[in-house]
């Protein structure tokens, strides 16, 4: 970017009539790093990045924070914070104030914390029998309002479960009464530990607010150990760690380039083209990680690291893929076959070959500073950003093309075990389920017993729309369209998707879009 372009973009930001003050400050900061040199890449990697066959999520040229950070809040509460001069709290009110202070000092690419802690566990020591449910609800209600107003970003995320607790149930009651987009919530579900009626409480809350997201706890524990959480949208990472960065590969673009090559066979795709672009994506990840760790020295200098609330050995990076549906359909057509992903056994089998091949390649590609992932990236089914056009998020079946729910699940489930850091498929449930929430509990349990890692559903006709994993209210999107601005940064991202895809006109059918740094 030359100085003239910088000036023009900075000028446009400061004079923008719809952005709030904080939104301008964050965008200006992001713009400033674009004046710095990009980490050095090979020519091939740079070309693939410029053509957006591979993508850095527009994180900026000189990463100076890890993308996703999961501080160990339980440890913080136990020991207090030196940097912030906060002694360990002793009451529920103290604990909530302590956390609010801490949240204001946890960085991420969006500048807002993507993880608020597993609040049922973090707050458990303070919720004694002396505190009634009414007092608990009132305290959490004030806390929830503060979170939404002070951290206005739907990637802000808390986790609950798998064990039952008064706190989890209170959170669901508060959620249903407030109907806020923030924070996002995940309920960890373990068939042995999580009672059906807690899952049902979650389901009833989805009917009202589109939250929580459900995760397969035993599968997560097998990949990450007990200390993991789902954060931002659908990113499952280690507590006390996180992800340095997220890079992603557009499988549709990879397939298009392959089919234009001399040997456009399926074998060559798996043997040559896919490994080639996988390596370029890995190169991009490595360059960004080295920049963060070795140039900006994030882990040597940030207080979370120096106080032992994060540990670089619990970090890895996320290797995302998207556009699987288009990739498979293109490769099928090239073989003269008309079966489509999600509707045909052969297409589905091909989808598994492609994903398994990428997983195999990522699992053997050494990655520096990624001890959290055993020295490798975590594979991730990446659910899109607001700039994606004509390409399907992650490993999803294209919106509007989904088969019946059973076929939808059986198409997607076989991929899930490969995506340690998360995979999102969003299912649509019609209005009649409101009178029979057990039916949705049945489906969630079935999904996890057949190997799904993540499960999210939307109720048709809900005021809340899930974009990738984060939520927006349709009324907030309407306000942006009317040039009234938006209090939540994530609403502005969603609005980009809406303008491209007319999301709200498709009931709750969702489209691609993901956190694209600070827009």
Chain positions contacting another protein, by CB under 8 A: 339, 343-345, 403-407, 409-410, 432-433, 435-436, 438-443, 445-447, 449-450
- Answer positive or negative: Cα dihedral of 78, 315, 246, 50: positive
How far, in Å, CA of 139 to CA of 94, rounded?
11
How far, in Å, CA of 310 to CA of 241, rounded?
5
Task: For Cα atoms 39, 40, 43, give the angle at the middle one, nearest 5 degrees.
Answer: 135
How far, in Å, CA of 269 to CA of 281, rounded?
16
**For 1-10, which contacts have Cβ atoms below 8 Å and span 24 or more sequence positions?**
1/34, 1/35, 6/31, 6/34, 6/35
Q: Minimum distance between the CB of residue 439 and another protein, rounded to whole angstroms?
A: 4
- In this structure, what DSSP letter does residue 9 have? H
Find where tokens 């556009």 sit. Answer: 323
C-alpha distance from residue 519 to each of 28, 231, 389 (Å): 10, 19, 17
User: In this structure, how many other beta carbons lie within 10 angstroms of the beta carbon of residue 169?
Assistant: 19
Look at residue 56 and give its three-state secondary structure.
coil
Q: Which residue's CB is nearer to another protein, number 306 or number 438? A: 438
Q: Minimum distance between the CB of residue 410 and another protein, rounded to whole angstroms?
A: 7
Q: Which residue's CB is nearer to another protein, number 100 or number 405? A: 405
Residue 280 · residue 54 · CB < 8 Å: yes
Task: For Cα atoms 468, 471, 400, give the angle at the middle one, nearest 5 degrees.
Answer: 50
Q: Which residue's CB is nearer to another protein, number 163 or number 410? A: 410
How far, in Å, CA of 58 to CA of 518, rounded?
9
Q: Which residue's CB is nearer to another protein, number 276 or number 445? A: 445
Q: Minimum distance between the CB of residue 436 and another protein, rounded to whole angstroms?
A: 4
- In this structure, what DSSP letter does residue 270 have? I
Q: Which residue's CB is nearer to another protein, number 7 or number 338? A: 338
Q: Which residue's CB is nearer to another protein, number 140 or number 429? A: 429
Q: Minimum distance between the CB of residue 136 and another protein, rounded to whole angstroms?
A: 30
Q: Which residue's CB is nearer to another protein, number 185 or number 447? A: 447
How far, in Å, CA of 492 to CA of 477, rounded?
8
Residue 423 · residue 416 · CB < 8 Å: yes
């Amino acid at each position: 970017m030359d100085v003239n372009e910088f000036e023009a973009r900075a000028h446009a930001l400061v004079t923008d009539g719809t952005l709030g003050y904080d939104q301008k400050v964050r965008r200006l900061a992001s713009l400033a790093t674009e004046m710095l040199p990009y980490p050095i890449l090979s020519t091939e990697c740079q070309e693939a990045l410029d053509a957006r066959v591979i993508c850095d999520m527009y994180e900026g040229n000189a990463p100076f924070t890890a993308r996703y950070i999961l501080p160990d809040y339980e440890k913080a509460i136990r020991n207090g914070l030196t940097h912030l001069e906060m002694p360990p709290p002793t009451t529920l009110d103290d604990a909530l104030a302590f956390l609010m202070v801490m949240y204001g000092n946890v960085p991420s690419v969006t500048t807002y914390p993507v993880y608020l802690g597993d609040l049922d566990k973090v707050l458990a020591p303070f919720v004694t029998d002396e505190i009634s449910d009414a007092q608990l609800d009132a305290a959490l209600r004030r806390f929830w309002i503060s979170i939404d107003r002070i951290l206005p970003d739907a990637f802000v995320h808390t986790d609950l479960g798998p064990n039952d607790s008064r706190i989890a149930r209170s959170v669901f009651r508060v959620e249903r009464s407030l109907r806020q987009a923030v924070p996002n919530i995940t309920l960890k579900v373990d068939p042995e530990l999580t009672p059906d009626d807690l899952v049902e409480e979650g389901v009833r809350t989805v009917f009202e607010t589109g939250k929580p997201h459900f995760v397969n706890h035993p599968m997560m524990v097998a990949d990450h150990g007990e200390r993991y959480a789902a954060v931002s949208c659908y990113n499952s990472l280690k507590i006390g760690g996180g992800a340095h960065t997220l890079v992603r590969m557009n499988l549709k673009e990879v397939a298009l380039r392959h089919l234009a090559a001399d040997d456009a066979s399926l074998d060559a795709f798996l043997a040559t083209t896919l490994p080639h672009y996988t390596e370029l994506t890995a190169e991009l990840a490595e360059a960004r990680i080295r920049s963060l760790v070795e140039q900006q020295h994030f882990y040597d200098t940030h207080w979370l690291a120096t106080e032992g609330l994060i540990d670089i050995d619990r970090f890895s990076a996320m290797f995302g893929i998207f556009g699987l549906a288009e990739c498979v359909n293109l490769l099928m057509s090239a073989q003269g076959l008309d079966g489509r992903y999600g509707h045909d056994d052969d297409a589905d089998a091909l989808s598994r070959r492609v994903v398994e091949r990428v997983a195999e390649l990522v699992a053997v590609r050494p990655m520096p500073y990624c001890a959290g992932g055993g020295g490798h990236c975590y594979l991730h089914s990446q659910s899109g950003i607001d700039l994606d056009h004509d390409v399907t998020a992650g490993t999803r079946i294209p919106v509007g093309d989904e088969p019946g729910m059973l076929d939808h699940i059986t198409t997607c489930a076989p991929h899930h075990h490969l995506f340690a850091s998360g995979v999102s498929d969003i299912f649509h449930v019609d209005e009649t389920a409101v009178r029979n929430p057990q039916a949705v509990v049945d489906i969630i349990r079935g999904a996890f017993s057949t190997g799904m890692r993540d499960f999210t559903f939307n109720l048709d006709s809900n005021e809340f729309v899930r974009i990738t994993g984060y939520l927006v209210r349709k009324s907030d999107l309407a306000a942006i369209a009317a040039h009234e601005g938006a209090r939540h940064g994530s609403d502005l991202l969603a609005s980009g998707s809406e303008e491209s895809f007319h999301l709200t006109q498709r009931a709750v059918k969702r489209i691609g879009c993901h956190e694209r740094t600070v827009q």
